[in-house]
Chain A
Amino acid sequence: MDLPKLPVGDAIEVLVDWIEQYFGWLLDGISAVLGFLIGGLQDLLLAMPAPILILLATALVWFVTRRDIRLAGLTVLGLLLIWDLQLWNLAMLTLALVLVSTIVALAISIPLGIVAAGSDAINAALRPILDFMQTMPPFVYLIPAVIFFGLGNVPGTIATVVFAMPPALRLTNLGIRQVPVELIEVADAFGSTPQQKLFKVQLPVALPTIMAGVNQCIMLALSMTVIASMIGAGGLGYQVLVGIQRVNIGMGFEAGLAIVIIAIILDRITQNLMPQQVGDR
């Protein structure tokens, strides 16, 4: 005997139709803004000749790592290799996609993390949603992204934002909750307003943990670029996808290597953004 199949799929389709009908304007707006940001950032990165950008990136690494000569050297060599492999334009598009997704993801996740840290009820409500977002295979995000935003860089960014958000939110929440209770008492005992407590005590003390979340967010965004290329997001990820489709190992490897280089550079920069550890526990 067959059980009657519940119309889950049908319900989702109805929901999607409803959203498109009533919130189409919002989707179009988001699409336009994201498209503009990605295009603008890519144009900006490409407006500079590659050697100059390589120098700037190296200087940035040199500066934030407090003159780590090895990392600066690695940055120069890595970026020169990307340039040499003629993957520069694609790499800049990937960088633009990653940066825009990360900024959007952080703009949502850090405030939500702060709110969740301040309210057990909101934290309890958010937790299953975050679990869901993190355990769902990332490919699944591609479907609604395509439905609402079509093909291209914008739906790729949307899927990336959803995928990259949870760790930043969780770590912001955790970092604030782990601020020692005496420091909260200090803020209160000296007559802080809730805003002063947040900005002068909670956020600065939680900053190392929050920065770990930012780092995770960037790394996840970068790892999503290959997956997002399946719905038309461009850049190095797309190059990898083409390599897979044509069984062209050389092409796939070169693009993959470029992604790894960018990942390492971004990771080292964000890990060193924190001022010298001043823990006092």
Chain B
Amino acid sequence: MLEGSVISDNLSEDENSRSLQPTISVESLTRVFGQDHKKALELRNSGCSKDEIYEETRNTLALYNVSFEVMPGEIFVLMGLSGSGKSTLLRCINRLIEPTSGRVLIGGEDIVSMSQDELREVRRRSLGMIFQSFALLPHRTVLDNIAFGLEIQGIPEDERYQRGKELLRIVGLGEHGASMPSQLSGGMKQRVGLARALAGDPEILLMDEAFSALDPLIRRGMQDELLDLQQRLKRTIIFVTHDLDEALKLGDRIALMKDGEIVQVGTPEEILTNPVDAYVEQFVAGVDMTKVLSASDVMRRPEPVARYNAGPRVALHLMEEHDIGSVFVVDRERRLKGLVTLDDALEAVRAGRGLEEIIITGVPTVALDASLADIISLIAGSPYPVAAVDDESRLQGLIFRGAILGALARKRRDVNGSA
């Protein structure tokens, strides 16, 4: 994912960097709930906290001077405890809540200063929204719910039903078009919500605690499906959640909010390993690092490896030189073929057999983005290191028990020790 500095550097440049234009750009957004905006903001500028401002003016400073950018195709997570302003912020982006000041640029156009007609057009064309409570219309069938946005746009019935059925298939509810929402389970309802949001083919999806009302098991399933869908559809998603695990799993970048302000923006890794202050640190303290770190974080360079067409003598030599008990074997394209142990190699040299006769195939492999949690269970049942391979099964790295323990210990120290 892109670093903040890269984004801002390229913004000022010419058209070559057009693909790096942010889809959404929020600039010093502020929202005050109450009568006396000026007084509340004056107090904030003189350093008062949100609670003090409320005591003094009965105004709630829901958002203060929030700025961030979301790049095309990115899942940007707004995370924070309840009352931190994350849902208000989300609603300012499609102006369900009017910002008190600041700008929200979508594709370069400022939403905040638009007329109602222009705003309606942008909402229809580029903004899909998904709600925590599903918010399906109870009097409409599933298909009519999905086609709601298209109906609002005045698209003829057969066309919107056709599109609706297509989306039903995409979210895996093919046969439920004629059902009423009350007949569906929570997970199914939110699939309908997702299909409804996608129906108008918006480039941006606003997801407000979209999975928070679901059972943990179903929630994880929906998260996986969203990631799958995102691979294909490449939308720009702003995802609000209070659940750190969800944020870490889904977010390309995460903005952690507190009292209406963004405390830190960064990739999940950055937030975990480099918390900017004690609050963030506390927030991430309970994270299960085995779910955060992946194979690529703990693997070592695959050295040495034996070539498949080399003989057992070469393999034996490699193992002796590096003082190891086994060596992985790859072909010319570095695709993993298997593994040869020291004992087998000795035996083969003595009996004059070839490498292909002693190679152990079917050794455990993991993808580069496999989580430590998965790797630990694999490695526990295997006497050999685990091989990390890419999509074309080329050997990219080796994972040893010691490396996993070391990585966990190191991350824990980073997180706890940086205050």
Contact of B152 among A200, A204, A275, A278 (CB under 8 A): A200
**Residues in A lying within 8 Å of B, measured CB to CB:** 180, 182-183, 185-193, 196, 200-201, 204-205, 207, 275, 278-281
Residues of the A chain whose Cβ atoms lie less than 8 Å from the Cβ of B123:
188-191
When the two chains form the complex, which single residue of A188, A189, A201, A281 contacts B137, counting CB atoms closer than 8 Å?
A201
Contacts of A205 in B (CB 8 A): 137-139
Report the separation of the CA atoms of residues A185 and B153 in the bound assembly, to the nearest whole angstrom: 16
CB-based contact A191/B153 at 8 Å:
yes
Interface of A, secondary structure class, is: helix
Q: Are B181's CB and A278's CB within 8 A?
A: yes
- Which of B11-19, B124-132, B230-238 makes up part of the contact surface? B124-132
Give every chain A residue within 8 A of B76 (Cβ-Cβ).
Answer: none
Chain B proximity of A111: nearest CB distance (Å): 21
Q: Return chain A residues, CB-CB under 8 Å to B94.
A: 189
Interface CB pairs A-B, < 8 A, 24: A182-B131, A183-B135, A185-B91, A185-B131, A185-B135, A186-B131, A186-B148, A187-B152, A189-B94, A189-B96, A189-B206, A190-B123, A190-B129, A190-B196, A193-B120, A200-B151, A201-B137, A204-B137, A204-B139, A275-B139, A278-B180, A278-B181, A280-B138, A281-B138
Beta-carbon contact of B139 and A190 below 8 Å: no
Q: Known pairs A189-B96, A205-B139. 9 more at Cβ < 8 A?
A: A186-B129, A189-B123, A189-B129, A190-B123, A190-B200, A200-B137, A200-B151, A278-B139, A280-B181
Count, chain B residues at interface, CB 8 A: 30
Task: Give the distance in Å from the alpha carbon of A190 to the alpha carbon of B96 in the complex.
Answer: 11
Chain B residues with CB under 8 A of A207: 139
| A196 vs B127: C-alpha distance when bound (angstroms) | 18
Set of chain B residues within 8 Å of A182, measured between Cβ atoms? 131-133, 135
Residues of B contacting A183 with CB < 8 Å? 135, 137
Contact partners of B182 in chain A: CB under 8 A: 278-280
With A182-B133, A186-B131, A192-B152 as contacts: A278 and B138 at CB distance below 8 Å: yes
- B113-172 at interface with A (beta carbon < 8 Å): 120-124, 127, 129, 131-133, 135-140, 148-149, 151-153
B164-207 Cβ-contact flags toward A at 8 Å (1 or 0) = 00000000000000001110000000000000100010000010
